[in-house]
Every structure is written in C-alpha cells, then in structure tokens.
Amino acid sequence: MTAELALLAASVVLGFVHIVVVSHLQSWQRGYRWTASSREGNVAPLTGIAGRLERALRNYLETFPFFAAAVLLAAVTRTHDWLTLWGAHFYFWGRVGYAILYAADLNPARSIVWNIPTIGILMIVAAPFTG
C-alpha cells in the first residue's frame, strides 16, 4: 500500500472521528431524548464548540470526496511522487489542524489552514499530468 492510500484510510478514520464527536456533542447539547428520537421538527442550531465542530464536519464532508478521487486517480495512473506524497500529507494533517483550530475558535488561523488540505488535493491531481 502506498503512503497516499494509507493517508486515505487514515482520512476515513478521521471522518468517523468527526462524526462520533459531533454526535456526542449534539446529544450533550440537545439531550439524549432528542438523540433517540426520530429528530423530526425544527431545532435550534448547535452553539459553541458543538456548532463549530458540526460546521467543521460539514466542511470535511465537502472536501473528502475530492481527496479520495485524487488519491484514486494517482493510484490508477500509478503516479507516486513527491507531489502525491506531500499532497496526501497536506490534506490529512491540514484537516486535523483545521478541526482543532475550528474547535478552539481561532480565527483567522482556521481560514488560513483551510488552504493546506486544498493545496494538497490540487498537488495530487496535478501529479499525473506533470510526470
């Protein structure tokens, strides 16, 4: 397995961690009766760290398919070079940093760090065309 595919697998785990953490924060804020309910009806938006991590999860879910597609493109084309390796690291570690900064409400650092995983995806996509 290439390092890029290993980082893709790690990113899947990271996605599950996001989901589990947000699920627990929702339950703590809205109550476990709400969690066990059919969740029909309107509820107030999550606030504080729960709201921030929910938004970070949504952002993660928006970018992950592009990362997965980029890594699979590199794998199918048998492209494995510094661009794919560093791009995969940029994505994974950038997403970890982004989630931490979002949870801590550290702006504008969060917005700046958002660029790191995005650049990582672009590096991986560019690699098959540059080699």
Tell me which residue has tokens 């893709």.
Answer: 8
Q: Are 21 and 52 in contact (CB under 8 A)?
A: no
Please check the confidence at residue 124 and state whether its pLDDT lies above 80: yes
Write out the two tokens for 49: 């760290």
CA atoms within 13 A on the CB side of 121: 17
The residue written with tokens 């952002």 in the block is 59
What separation, in Å, do the N-terminal and C-terminal C-alpha atoms of the chain show? 20
The pLDDT assigned to 43 comes to 85
Mean pLDDT for 4-10 is 98
Does the pLDDT of residue 37 top 80, yes or no?
yes
pLDDT of residue 21: 97
Nearest to 105 by CA among 50, 45, 59: 50
